[in-house]
Structure 1
Amino acid sequence: MDHTKRQPRKQGWRFVLLAVAMAVAISGLIRSLWIDVYFIPSESMEPLLGVGDRILVSRTDFGAEPIRRGDLVVFDGRGTFAPLNSGKGPVADAAAAAGHWLGLTGSDTSYVKRVIGVPGDHVRCCGADGRLTVNGQAIEESYVYPGDAPSEQRFDVVVPEGRLWLMGDHRSRSADSRSLLGAPGGGLVPVERVIGRPVRIIWPLDRFAELPRPAAAATTSKNGL
């Protein structure tokens, strides 16, 4: 039997498999250290982010500048937004992780919300004019979904050190810090749980657009953030 033709073919497949493995490893390293892709599974951040959008998330933006009010953040919600035991079994978890890694599905534990209060802020709903107040000052929220009230639920919270008060832009469709006031942590997400900042919508192509950071708010917290 002539083995001279099989040997180059085997080597070719090995080369292809090695190249694929290296590409996956490099992609994983980039996504774990610098930039990642997330799928938007819900209406909670409309009109800015729609169901099915894929967003590019920078993991390094908040290393250069601190998180501030108005920022969009992707964060790990385990222990706050997500149940402490959110697993569905090893096979289902592996399939979900693969879909999330490929940007095809959302994550059961990662969320996108907007920062309304930073450590030291006194956040309240609502003032006499129906707007949220931060440290006694009414805030402008042009990003709120048209027709939605700033909040139908009343709250009065002082954000502790190392935590954030987060809300969705589509207030009537968003489960956020308001929904978890009676839960462990009171809906306040640890700053250390923030994964990064959404910087661009990359899919679908007709929605390809930058997601710039908002201008810094004039309101100051007790910590001066």
Structure 2
Amino acid sequence: MADAAVDARSEHNGPEDGSAPQGPRGKKAKKQRPFWKELPILLGVALLLALLIKTFLVQAFSIPSDSMQNTLQPGDRVLVDKLTPWFGSEPERGEVVVFHDPGDWMKYEPTPQPNAAQKVLSFIGLMPSAEEKDLIKRVIGVGGDTVECKGTGPVKVNGKPLDEPYVFAGNTACSTDERGQFKVKVPKGHLWVMGDHRQNSADSRYHRENPGGGMVPVGNVVGRAVVVAWPVDRWSTLPVPGTFDQKDINTVAATAPGALALVGAAPLVWLRRRSRARVSAAE
């Protein structure tokens, strides 16, 4: 019993010769690594996560102009959802989207020259991109839509007038200059986009002479702007306006029931005709 007591005390108090405590298998306890040695690893992991988030999830963009007022103001920072398109989702009417220049839309726009630190922060997504020539507009029409605007408006999509409270105060839905009047058919896989500041936005209307006729290929879309994140007092979400939920605005959806009925009826008609033919042959 005495020996057992000594052994128990030895396990709790450590060896009497002053050596480092040992574990149950006789191994020395592992010393904790100093924080300054772990810091580079933590920073590396943080940068990798930031890069992955920027590439696949969310990216910050800075608003450079007033073409989307009053929805967005110059200097606003918006967060753009880049994840949804990875699952095959395409932009919808009413969404505010960021997209790469589809063809010299920004040909005469000066490109900022960021310093080295800004380039690094922009690359990993901790700062809005400065060098990329991206634009931000609202989707008005998608593939298959007919979009038109006459006089001062309203804008019509597939014959349905839009109620657009987001249009800049004092602006009309259509611009009355020659290029501001239009009627276009949006090709499949493309978008027709317009700025909310209608009389101060060089959008699809003003690039119909460019390659693509002012249409934006869906493949050029970076993602949908979902939140105004900065400045703090301007924090807000960017939902799809209710006017784009109108019935029959989607011509494909409107004609689908009839087409489905025809497809469903065809086999029944064929079976009935075949049945009659058998009866006639038996007679």
TM-score range, shorter chain: 0.7 to 0.9
The Cα shift of 1:185 comes to 0.9
Of 21, 24, 28 in structure 1, the residue corresponding to residue 47 of structure 2 is 24
One-letter amino acid of the counterpart of residue 142, structure 1 = P
Which protein has the bigger strand share?
1
Who is 1:217 aligned against? 245
After TM superposition, the structure 1 = structure 2 runs for residues 46-195 of structure 1, keeping only pairs within 5 Å, are 46-62=69-85, 63=87, 66-79=90-103, 81-83=105-107, 97-98=119-120, 100=122, 101-104=125-128, 106-126=130-150, 130-152=153-175, 153-195=180-222
Q: Is the 8 A contact 1:201 1:207 kept in 2?
A: yes
CA deviation digits over 1:69-105, x for unaligned, max 9?
111111122436345xx997xx869777546443356
Cα pair distance change 1:93/1:205, threshold 3 Å: closer
Task: Count matched residues.
Answer: 212
Structure 1: tracts of 5 or more residues without a match: 1-10
In 2, Cα distance between the equivalents of 1:138 and 1:204?
34
Greater shift after overlay, 107-116 or 176-185? Answer: 107-116
In 1, Cα distance between the equivalents of 2:88 and 2:191?
18
The Cα shift of 1:222 comes to 4.2
Q: Is the 8 A contact 1:54 1:103 kept in 2?
A: no
Which protein has the bigger helix share?
2
Structure 2: tracts of 5 or more residues without a match: 1-33, 255-283
CA deviation digits over 1:95-141, x for unaligned, max 9?
775464433564542221101111111111216x6211212222111
TM-score (norm: length of structure 1): 0.80
Q: Is the 8 A contact 1:76 1:195 kept in 2?
A: yes
Q: Is the 8 A contact 1:48 1:143 kept in 2?
A: yes
In 2, Cα distance between the equivalents of 1:223 and 1:107?
39
The Cα shift of 1:221 comes to 4.0
In 1, Cα distance between the equivalents of 2:184 and 2:208?
9
Q: Over the residues paired in the alignment, what is the CA RMSD in angstroms?
A: 3.0
One-letter amino acid of the counterpart of residue 171, structure 1 = R
CA deviation digits over 1:14-38, x for unaligned, max 9?
5433322221111110111111111
Who is 2:279 aligned against? none
Q: Is the 8 A contact 1:73 1:198 kept in 2?
A: yes
One-letter amino acid of the counterpart of residue 200, structure 1 = V
Cα pair distance change 1:81/1:96, threshold 3 Å: farther
The Cα shift of 1:159 comes to 0.3
Question: Is 1:42–2:65 an aligned residue pair?
Answer: yes
Cα pair distance change 1:130/1:214, threshold 3 Å: closer
Q: Per chain length, whose mean CA-contact separation is higher, i.e. which structure has more relative contact order (CA < 8 Å, sep 6+)? A: 1
| DSSP-derived class of the 2:213 partner | helix
In 2, Cα distance between the equivalents of 1:59 and 1:113?
16
Greater shift after overlay, 64-73 or 11-20? Answer: 11-20
